[in-house]
Amino acid sequence: MKKIFYLAVKDMKIRLKYKFVWINMALTPFFIIGPYVFSSRIVEVNSLAESVMIGALLWYWLNQYFFGVGDGFTEEREEGALISVILSPVSLLAFLLSKSVDTFLMNLYITFFTLIFFNLSGVKLEIHLLFFLLLIISGVYITFFSIFFAALSLWKKKIGSINSTTQFFFGILSGMVNPVEHFPHYIRFISYAIPLTYLISIGRNIMKNENGSNFISQLLILTALSFAYLIFGIWLLRKAENEIRRKGEWETW
């Protein structure tokens, strides 16, 4: 745990050196997901805008995790410092978990400002305890999913190049703006393999103040699916580690 803490502190310290990035992080999500949310207001149903906002916000969380955790190895490899972490007693998994802590804190910061900007724009989300619980669950489970992606791109470097495309792919298929029930059967099959799909659905249920029993089954599926990704991700990390140790490619990308 201490190793994860120190690595997360390191990421935060580096981030603090770039003052303008904080402005960027506070504003950009609003501008990225704003068009989706504001388009939905054309029909003049506030709950639709809020529903899209929940989806888009959680999708943005996934984006940040895919950049922070999923791209964690690539980023530090390019900088050159990854080798020092690899040479230390820190495991690859601990390294990714430290990236996840950093991303979680960033996501809280981003969400705080995004909600303020939307509130000022007239799209108000009722914030209560369940919403924060959803964010925490999202942080944990999307971390698991991102670990799987990070392992995949460590194992096959080229996969890292389609990180952004993958994020949009997941965004659309997980029902960010359009509930997955509206998709054809064969697409829904893919949607249900994406943890974000369940998070968005649970988020919307919470927003509608629905009874917890409505989303408990989804939470269970989400939990099982996320742990499956984590287990597969850890297995893949070990495989990638041995592969890189055989090829000597710690410093290439």
Partner 1 sequence: MRRVVEVTNIKKSFGKLRVLDKVDFYVKEGDFKVIIGENGSGKSTLLKIMVGLLLPDEGEVNVLGIDVKKQWKKLSAKIGVVLANERSLYWKLTAWENLDIFGGIYGVPKKERRKRMKELLERFGLFEYKDKPVEDFSTGMRKKLMVCKALIHNPKILFVDEILNGLDPSSTREMVEYLSELNEKGLTVVMISHVLHILPESADVALLRNGQIQMEVKYKDIRSKRREIYEVFEKLIKVGEVDEKDILFSREGYEDKA
- The footprint of partner 1 (CB under 8 A) covers 2-3, 5-7, 9-10, 13-14, 17, 79-81, 83-91, 242, 245-248, 250-251
Return the number of the residue (156 or 245) whose C-beta is nearest partner 1: 245
Q: What is the DSSP string of 148-212?
A: HHHHHHHHSGGGGGGHHHHHHHHHHHTTSSS-GGGS-HHHHHHHTTSHHHHHHHHHHHHHTT--T
Q: CB-wise, 15 or 188, nearer to partner 1?
A: 15
The nearest distance, CB 27 to partner 1, in angstroms, is 23
Closer residue to partner 1, CB minimum distance, 47 or 242: 242
* C-alpha–C-alpha distance, residues 75 and 15, integer Å: 14
We find the least distance from the C-beta atom of residue 252 to partner 1, in angstroms, to be 12
The residue among 37 and 101 lying less far from partner 1, judged by its C-beta, is: 101
Integer CA distances (angstroms), 2 to 5, 98, 102, 149, in order: 5, 10, 14, 24
Q: Report the nearest approach of partner 1 to the CB of residue 200 (Å).
A: 35
Residue closer to partner 1 (CB basis): 185 or 247: 247
Least distance to partner 1 from the beta carbon of 106, Å?
16
For residue 133, how many other CB atoms are within 10 A of its CB?
12
* CB 110, min distance to partner 1, A: 21
Q: At what angle do helices 213-247 and 195-207 cross, to 10 degrees?
A: 150
